[in-house]
Structure 1
Amino acid sequence: MKFAITSKGDQKSNILMHKMRTYLLDFDLKYDEDQPDIVVSIGGDGTLLYAFHRYKSRLSKTAFVGIHTGHLGFYADWTPDEIEKLVIAIAKTPFQVVEYPLLEVIIRYSHAGKESRYLALNESTVKSVEGTLVMDVEIRGQHFERFRGDGLCVSTPSGSTAYNKALGGAIIHPSISAIQVAEMASINNKVFRTVGSPLILPAHHTCMLKPVNRTDFQVTVDHLTLLHKDVKSIQFRVPEEKIRFARFRPFPFWKRVHDSFISD
């Protein structure tokens, strides 16, 4: 088996990275940063997001597992004192693969140039470069509403516990193939109206945003912040690709939710 390791970059994570690499090499596993079968992320959820984007072209061939060196994460379920146990599990135990749905973002331009396509593990947000964001929102090709406000956040089920939750969105179990659209400070009065609630769209539904009065937007894809000009439309949907996590033991989603937001 070929493996790679990504680190948060702090001293604690780097020490664990070197230790784990040595252990896995001792078990005759091969270190391969280009074509790994499994990627070990050491740090937090942000570190795993970086690993996901680095290996997004190998999602059908690469599985991820996380070690958290800070607070318990939604993607990093192993602790530093379990490193020897994890090494033995990787080297000796066939792992179960758990797949989570992703978010596809396609940005098309008014000059009919090449479109941009991105995959997000957590979410994508859209904001105006200047002033209020005004977007026509289409669902399944039909006009739904004209949104006015600070911005829109479209998230995956596994990302529903991140920015989406802070916006009042629902927490969705990652076994459900869907995307969620949440508003950021929408303008609602006698003249302007939006639905005012998060929307959960199934995998076969597409959400399309079409600019009304401006064409330059700040778009985030997980931790990446991008400026896009002359935008004609921004499309969101569930793609065919999925992220694959290597599971060596149960990692119940609702327990993670409880431990992250409720437990002391």
Structure 2
Amino acid sequence: MKIGIFSNPGQASAHVSNALRAKIRDEHLTFDNDHPDIVITVGGDGTLLTAFHHYQDQLASIRFVGIHTGHLGFYTDWRDYEVDELIDSLAHDNGQSVSYPLLDIDIEYNSGEHQSLLALNESTIKKVTGTMLANVYIKDQLFELFRGDGLCVSTPTGSTAYNKSAGGAVISSELDVVQVSEIASINNRVFRTLGSPIIISPTEWVRVEPVRLDENLMTCDQMTIENRSIKAVNFKISKQRIAFAQYRHTQFWKRVSESFIGVKPID
């Protein structure tokens, strides 16, 4: 089994990465950052997102493991002081994994060029200044005329991120759906929106056509696309998925409870 390490530049993460490399050698495991079977990310959720995009052409053959060196991460199951326990799990790996849905994004530029992107958390489309005006289609049928700050399209695991801040629902990671949430929509007699998040099935897609093609801002996880004339953006569930090594991968709703509520039973 080939193991890669993807770390943020922080001092704490560098210390953990060095310890991992030494213990990988001691266990006679193979270190390979180019074509790994397992990628260990060291840092937090931002580091894992960066690693996901770095290895997105190899998703079919890679499983991820996250170590957090700061605050509790949503995708990271291991703490920085648990390197020995993780190495033991790697040495006894039997291929166990859990996978989550991803988001396919197809951007049509006014020039006729297309750009395909893949998101683990979410994608947003906004206006750089002022409000965004857009026609929103579901499965090629006009659904609403949107006016507001923008739209957020998220995966189930990404539903706990920007989507939640925009008033979207938290969706179980076991559902193969994507969610569209409005960001500060404006409703009047001309522009009418549903006013609540919508859930899109695997057989459906969402198309957003900005009325004004310039001054639009697109994001895909941590990536930003600006200063491009966007004709339309199509969103749908991807056929690709991200896989995590299921040594002790925390159950989704436990993650949600620990991250946002921290509830304890009443005695």
TM-score normalised to structure 1 length: 0.96
Percent identity over paired residues:
48
Unaligned 5+ runs, structure 1: none
The equivalent residue for 2:171 is 172
The equivalent residue for 1:28 is 28
1:1-264 paired onto structure 2 within 5 Å:
1-113=1-113, 115-227=114-226, 229-263=228-262
- List, as ranges, runs of 4+ consecutive aligned residues in structure 1 with deviation greater than 4 Å: none
State how far apart, in whole Å, the 2-side matches of 1:54 and 1:31 are: 17
Give the drift of 1:96. 1.2
Letter in 1 for 2:146: F
**Offset from partner CA, 1:186-219 (integer Å, 9 cap, x none):** 0012332111100111111100011213334210
**Offset from partner CA, 1:41-62 (integer Å, 9 cap, x none):** 1111111000000000000011
Query: Helix, strand or coil: the match of 2:158?
Result: coil
**Offset from partner CA, 1:204-244 (integer Å, 9 cap, x none):** 11000112133342101001111152222100000111001
Query: Helix, strand or coil: the match of 1:143?
Result: strand
**Offset from partner CA, 1:142-188 (integer Å, 9 cap, x none):** 00001000011000000000000001100011111110001111001
Query: Helix, strand or coil: the match of 1:215?
Result: coil
State how far apart, in whole Å, the 1-side matches of 2:93 and 2:137 are: 47
**Offset from partner CA, 1:96-146 (integer Å, 9 cap, x none):** 111100001100122223x10000000001011232111100001100001
Query: Helix, strand or coil: the match of 1:76?
Result: coil
State how far apart, in whole Å, the 2-side matches of 1:102 and 1:215 are: 28
State how far apart, in whole Å, the 2-side matches of 1:7 and 1:250 are: 20
CA RMSD between the two structures: 1.2
Aligned residues: 263
Query: Helix, strand or coil: the match of 1:160?
Result: helix
**2:77–2:248 CA contact under 8 A, matched in 1:** no
State how far apart, in whole Å, the 1-side matches of 2:215 and 2:116 are: 17
**1:2–1:31 CA contact under 8 A, matched in 2:** yes
**2:39–2:65 CA contact under 8 A, matched in 1:** yes
State how far apart, in whole Å, the 2-side matches of 1:197 and 1:159 are: 17
TM-score normalised to structure 2 length: 0.95
Give the drift of 1:28. 1.5
**1:3–1:33 CA contact under 8 A, matched in 2:** yes
**2:121–2:158 CA contact under 8 A, matched in 1:** yes
Query: Helix, strand or coil: the match of 1:220?
Result: strand
Unaligned 5+ runs, structure 2: none
Distance change >3 Å, CA 95–CA 78, structure 1 → 2: farther
Query: Helix, strand or coil: the match of 1:232?
Result: strand
Letter in 2 for 1:169: G
**1:95–1:248 CA contact under 8 A, matched in 2:** no
- Greater shift after overlay, 137-146 or 72-81? 72-81
**2:148–2:186 CA contact under 8 A, matched in 1:** yes
State how far apart, in whole Å, the 1-side matches of 2:199 and 2:228 are: 28
State how far apart, in whole Å, the 2-side matches of 1:74 and 1:95 are: 22
**1:59–1:243 CA contact under 8 A, matched in 2:** yes
